[in-house]
Amino acid sequence: MKLYLKIWRQKDAKTKGKMVDYTMEGVEGDMSFLEMLDVLNEDLILKGEEPIEFDHDCREGICGTCSLQINGRPHGPDTRITVCQLHMRRFKDGDTIVIEPFRAKAFPVIKDLIIDRSAFERIQQAGGYVSVNTSGNTVDANAIPIEKDKADMSFNAATCIGCGACVAACKNASAMLFTSAKVSQFALLPQGRVEAADRVQSMVRQMDLEGFGNCTNTGACEVECPKGISLENIARMNREYLSATAKG
């Protein structure tokens, strides 16, 4: 295939970026999207030009670092996949593909297609953990009975990979789906109830401090989430938050 690429180039966080046009020929359908970018970068290096910077790690849909906005959609035209799982057979010969970083105030661009998602890490550090007794008198977690439906819901919430697609899809750049998933995976389990009130208040407070917008209730976050994290988690987080604030 011959493809026409429009890619966001930005030298650093302080420099104004712009879209740059590239033409690629001989693109095979079995290539992954990131492999296509690898080939483009090899050509740029051979020409003495600076390669395009983009994040990647596992390339197995697990780490979430490959997040890109492709033709206006987080992770591209397919659903329930990350960019590294997107293959070029999804495009046609002669297509124009616009490639950008996720756009959000809380996700500043570092360089080219790389964004700073450390805001997510700070939200998790604010309360996304369970304090355990390490005195030597610990209790085996498997000794605590948990209803299967709650265990399943907790596991589903825990599949969130923190890629940021929910933020990129939201017109207000809300992080409610991400934060609610991290709250839910603990709120549904007895081990997480001990610190439930402090957790939800701390994580919501940090989310607001990071500059994320409010929830729009449009559901775009769930649609674009590569792991299908449910909007039910947002409702659960709101209930947890109201309960925690009512108790003081």
Domain architecture of the chain: domains with CATH: 3-111 (3.10.20.30), 117-132+143-247 (1.10.1060.10)
Q: Comparing 199 with 132, which gets the higher pLDDT? A: 199
Q: Comparing 144 with 55, which gets the higher pLDDT? A: 55
- pLDDT, one tens digit per residue, over 57-69 is 999 999 999 999 9
Report DSSP state, residue 101.
Answer: -
Asked if pLDDT for residue 138 goes beyond 90, the answer is: no
**How many C-beta atoms lie closer than 10 Å to residue 66's C-beta?**
25
**How many C-beta atoms lie closer than 10 Å to residue 141's C-beta?**
12
Mean pLDDT calculated for residue range 162-191: 97
Mean pLDDT calculated for residue range 170-186: 97
**What's the pLDDT at 118?**
98
**What's the pLDDT at 140?**
76
**What's the pLDDT at 144?**
84
User: Burial level of 72, CB count in 10 A (0-12/13-18/19+)?
Assistant: exposed
Find the radius of gyration of the CA atoms of the chain: 20
Mean pLDDT calculated for residue range 13-41: 97
Asked if pLDDT for residue 75 goes beyond 90, the answer is: yes
Asked if pLDDT for residue 221 goes beyond 90, the answer is: yes
Mean pLDDT calculated for residue range 177-198: 96
Contacts of 145 (CB under 8 A, 6+ apart): none
Asked if pLDDT for residue 132 goes beyond 80, the answer is: no
**Which of the four pLDDT bands, split at 50, 70 and 90, describes residue 29?**
very high
